[in-house]
Structure 1
Amino acid sequence: MWRRTSEYVVDDLCHCGRNSIVKTSWTNLNPGRRYKACTKFREVGGCHYFSWIDSPMCSRAQQIIPGLLKRINKHDNEVVKLKDEVQKLEDVVEKLENELKKKRSRDRWMWTVLVLSWIVVYLMM
């Protein structure tokens, strides 16, 4: 089966008869450029079917896109770190809440014992 994509005719089957898959390149030379390849492409003894779908990027895009990708990755890493910090803080808050519940329970028990002891002392008089 043939189809026309981005001005190029692309074969849907690779040389070994398997269906080819569409992938996106994120290298510095071809950022965001789509290509078709065999599912066994770049494997030992695999098929060497490879075909670009998109036309080459202009030099300006090749300069700008990698920098933008680095920024996005940097921000994604910061988000992951912040999520880890938030989780640690939530764990600390949960631990403190549990300690506070235990302390309140102990305080109620102590007040109950104190009141009962005063009632006993009053009744003994």
Structure 2
Amino acid sequence: MKPATAAKKLGVHLDATPAEFRDGVVSREELDALQADPPQWLRDLRREGPHPKQVVAARLRVSLSGLARAGITDALTSEEIDRIKAERPDWLVREQDLAAEVRRENERLAGERVKQP
């Protein structure tokens, strides 16, 4: 698979991976091995970042759209994410509330589907 696909599956920002990872092709076996026993570079990236937008959104408990509305378009490090969490800017509170509302509505709809004969 392409390195971009493998990076997405590993939850890391492609541009932060080593050149040999970015320039090669990753087989399913190699991906499985990276997931089962991650090398130091992968452990460091997962811990410190920079993290891809999907990971940033999950750590901030907002949607990808919420990140875009806040003007966050680049990868962030764990330190930057922690700083945003600590500062709790208005946009973060608003987007977290919105994301929680969407989750509740999705759960309600899923419950209704289960009850239907």
* TM class, shorter-length: 0.3 to 0.5
TM-score (structure 1 length as normaliser): 0.35
Q: Which structure would you say has the larger Rg?
A: 1
Q: Which has the higher strand share?
A: 1
Q: Which has the higher helix share?
A: 2
Greater length-normalized contact order (CA 8 Å, ≥ 6 residues apart): 2
